[in-house]
Chain A
């Protein structure tokens, strides 16, 4: 039997050198699942140490989630001991994350990063922004300082020692069965016509609408906003690729935990009546009654 030869028409990752640094150029057409393998093969073809200790990724227009980006960086580091130091990408949603969390230098169209994209020195996202909560809010409702009406408790920064958040990896994922509806804005919405039970995970690169409840132990991860036409008791991460304009709207909010962008909050136990929306205001997740129009 002949060894399998890679199909010639398969979209290929290219290994180039820019400024004498290796650059992996990953075209939009390559499925993320195959990216790591292809990179492994490319590296194996090079003479040892030809690549040097660092490299950059060129994603061009290719959209990528925070999680996939982190996986890629992790893979190169763990498997090949090559540190990714730079990124070419026009996906704005990942820029901040790439700079602040992954410490990557950004190259836009091959030009050095403009000033406003340079790393900012004080990233303290997950700390309660408000000075009125000097003590980390306790989770136990009985000992917690009474939350202001509509104010979710920010999670104790102690719990997340390094204020970095990424989307967990769901395996038991529900397939986006109904074709996502493409809207004029280009934002895609996934409709899930059932209740999500414990262990179910939905993750999607746009908005998600659930026609049913989200039970404890179920998890939704969306790049955009999440609407639950039912009771939300599980965990929702909206704006998972860094979009802090994303919101979480549900008919009844009793969530275990809410996450928007890189922020995490535990809503007060006694849920109020009626539809509510969770969103980021002044750097904190807050919960407000939903009044017949989109927030903001």
Chain B
């Protein structure tokens, strides 16, 4: 049974595209067949994050307008079996696509793949409506910031109005050190407001920026902390019960020294 996930947030810049790319890679590494769709028409960048920009010939709008077949527009990632990108059109706008078009497209993609991941644009208008149209499950990305959480809350309401199952949360750019000092909202604070299941936490990490510039998502990297975080999230998507670590021991030098000295056992949370 294949499933369509929409990665959405309301606010821009919180990590939807990063999450879409990394989850797609992580799922493909589990042996799944994955299509990741850039629904940010006119502002595409999933192709850049995945390092596939120079192989685009056709895009989502070409498929919808019947100028090419779906299989012609899907770009196969040669680094890993089973990963395909459907790029957005860059020179069109969101109104080139309707929710019905997207629903049909997602149905076609689901025939060919185990997972279809939709990278939703920011906002709550046309692009959001298109992205959610064919989705079976919504993953809400937020950072631990008040404004992002406010937008996430709004989006959760809209998702719930769309007859989808309860959305799940990915808390991105988490900095355990700041949370410890009381300078950042912690997971409990965020969950108290949003009150939806937490699928995972992704630490704020320079690997994301380095990997974005190289076009090689961190999930490819076995040694990356964020890559590992995304791989755990991918496993949880399939139902695996993997605990969410606290991230603080790996984040601060003194934390790891303290743990090594047996002073501060790693916190078990949730």
Contacts and interface: CB of A to CB of B under 8 A. Distances in A.
Interface of A: 67, 70-71, 74, 78, 138-140, 155-156, 158-162, 164-166, 168-173, 198-201, 216-217, 219, 235, 256-257, 264, 266
A266 B75 CA distance: 14
Nearest to A267: B54
A161 B92 contact: no
B55 to A, nearest CB: 6
Contacts of B68: 164, 166
Interface residues of B, number: 32
A231 B56 CA distance: 20
Given A169-B65, A266-B54, A159 B90 contact: no
B89 A168 contact: yes
B92 A172 contact: yes
A219 B90 contact: yes
24 contacts: A67-B67, A139-B52, A139-B54, A139-B55, A139-B78, A140-B78, A140-B79, A155-B55, A155-B57, A156-B55, A159-B75, A159-B76, A164-B72, A166-B68, A168-B58, A168-B89, A170-B92, A172-B92, A200-B91, A201-B91, A216-B48, A216-B53, A219-B91, A256-B56
Contacts of A162: 69, 72
Question: Which 5 pairs between the two chains have the least Cβ-Cβ distance?
Answer: A201-B91, A170-B91, A256-B54, A266-B54, A172-B91
Contact of B57 (A78, A159, A200): A159
A200 B90 CA distance: 8
Interface string B38-73: 000011100010011111111101100111110110
Given A155-B55, A169-B62, A199 B78 contact: no
Given A159-B57, A162-B69, A168-B62, A199 B90 contact: yes
B210 interface: no
A130 B179 CA distance: 59
Nearest to A166: B67
Contact of B91 (A74, A161, A168): A168
Q: B interface, by DSSP: helix, strand, loop or mixed?
A: loop
Contacts of A257: 54-57
Contacts of A71: 67
Interface of B: 42-44, 48, 51-59, 61-62, 65-69, 71-72, 75-76, 78-79, 89-93, 96
A164 B72 CA distance: 9
Contacts of B90: 198-199, 217, 219
B71 A264 contact: no
Contact of A172 (B62, B65, B66, B93): B93
A64 to B, nearest CB: 16
A270 to B, nearest CB: 14
A171 B76 contact: no
Contacts of B57: 155, 159-160, 165, 257, 264
Nearest to A173: B91
Contacts of B79: 140
B91 A138 contact: no
B165 to A, nearest CB: 35
Given A138-B78, A161-B71, A257-B56, 10 more contacts: A71-B67, A139-B52, A158-B76, A159-B57, A169-B92, A171-B93, A217-B90, A219-B90, A257-B54, A257-B55
A71 to B, nearest CB: 8
A74 B44 CA distance: 27
A173 B89 CA distance: 13
B210 to A, nearest CB: 16
- Which of B61, B62, B69, B89 has the most CB atoms of chain A within a 10 A radius of its CB? B89
B91 A199 contact: yes
- Which of B44, B57, B68, B96 has the most CB atoms of chain A within a 10 A radius of its CB? B57
B240 to A, nearest CB: 31
A143 B34 CA distance: 23
Contacts of B89: 168
Contacts of B78: 138-140, 156
B194 to A, nearest CB: 34
A144 B250 CA distance: 36
A160 B56 contact: no
Contact of B55 (A74, A200, A266): A266
Contacts of A166: 67-68
A78 B66 contact: yes
B53 A74 contact: no
Contacts of B65: 169
Nearest to B48: A216
A159 B56 CA distance: 9
Contacts of B72: 160-162, 164
A162 B73 CA distance: 11
A236 B92 CA distance: 17
B61 A169 contact: yes
B42 to A, nearest CB: 6
Contact of B59 (A168, A171, A173, A200): A168
